[in-house]
Amino acid sequence: MATDPRITDSHCHLDFPDFDDTRAEVVARAVANGVHRMVTICTRLDRVDQVRSIAEAHDAVWWAAGTHPMSAGDVPQVSIEDLLTLAEHPKFVGIGETGLDYHYTAETKSAQQESLRTHIEAARQTKLPLIIHARDADEDMARILSEEHARGAYSCVMHCFSSSAELARAALDLGFYLSMSGIAAFKRSEELRAIFAEALVDRILVETDSPYLAPPPHRGKRNEPAYSVHTARVGAELYGLSYEDFAAQTEENFARLFWKAA
């Protein structure tokens, strides 16, 4: 039985082939280490059946779905109706991940922006949180999030946040949340930790984005939900809190945002 305070891995990818041979063990190991809840994210709607079945098979796992911005130019545009239908599932808790990624796929920025606005409208209608991926697109991201929020409020988490202080402030000013991944625990991430330190702790979540971005002492290896405790310990130190208090705060934050999983 876990002795540490309970926390939630707010973003992982348990359907990825990295976990095909060990998925049940990975979930069990997370729970044993105090990670009592995980949100596994579908990044392509042709993977919905696989992702949904993982959530249905494990009490500790919830799910969300959307079209990842790097796929937005390669697949048919998702419709609001598609997302609303998915949201009817009892363990479906968020819209996305969606967003903008101009690092690898700037040539599809128009399709990405159209897809992002569709996901925002679905989040607005369902009142489920929007899950945002942002890379090398800070100006457009801040503009679209603000424009859409002015048209009607919605909730949002900037997943695996590693962008600029300006985008962090823009998101926080809209009432959104920032999620700490293993990147925030990397030795050379002083600037990113400083950005997080400027945010109120009641707007912070933790995640792994596993199988990617394992925090120390597992950096360079396959990440998994159990390792979110290492990032949470860095977060506690950053905010000058005990691990117990930081864990309790992030649990409160998660329950407020991902209300359907609370």
Q: Is 58 annotated as a binding residue?
A: no
Which candidate, 88, 19, 97, 94, places its Cα nearest to that of 58?
Answer: 19
Residue 11 is labelled as binding a ligand: yes
User: Quick one: how far is CA 101 from the chain centroid?
Assistant: 15
User: Other C-beta atoms within 10 Å of 15: how many?
Assistant: 24
- Give yes or no for a cis peptide into 217 (omega within 30° of 0): yes
Answer yes or no: is 68 a known binding residue: no
Calculate the dihedral angle through the C-alpha atoms of 145, 148, 150, 154, rounding to the nearest 10 degrees.
-80
In angstroms, what CA-CA distances link 240 with 16, 18, 57, 101, 251?
35, 35, 38, 33, 17
Within a 13 Å sphere around the CA of 65, how many CA atoms are in the beta-carbon half? 26
CA–chain centroid gap for 182, Å, is 12
159 is in an annotated binding site: yes
Total count of residues recorded for the chain: 262
Give pairs for 16-22: CB < 8 Å, separation 24+. 16/211, 18/211, 18/222, 19/211, 19/224
Whether the Cβ atoms of residue 70 and residue 101 lie closer than 8 Å to each other: yes
**Is 138 among the annotated ligand-binding positions?**
no
Consult the annotation and say whether 97 binds a ligand: yes
Q: How many CB atoms lie within 10 A of CB 69?
A: 31
Could you tell me which residues are annotated as the binding site for a divalent metal cation?
A: 11, 13, 97, 133, 159, 209
Could you tell me which residues are annotated as the binding site?
A: 11, 13, 97, 133, 159, 209
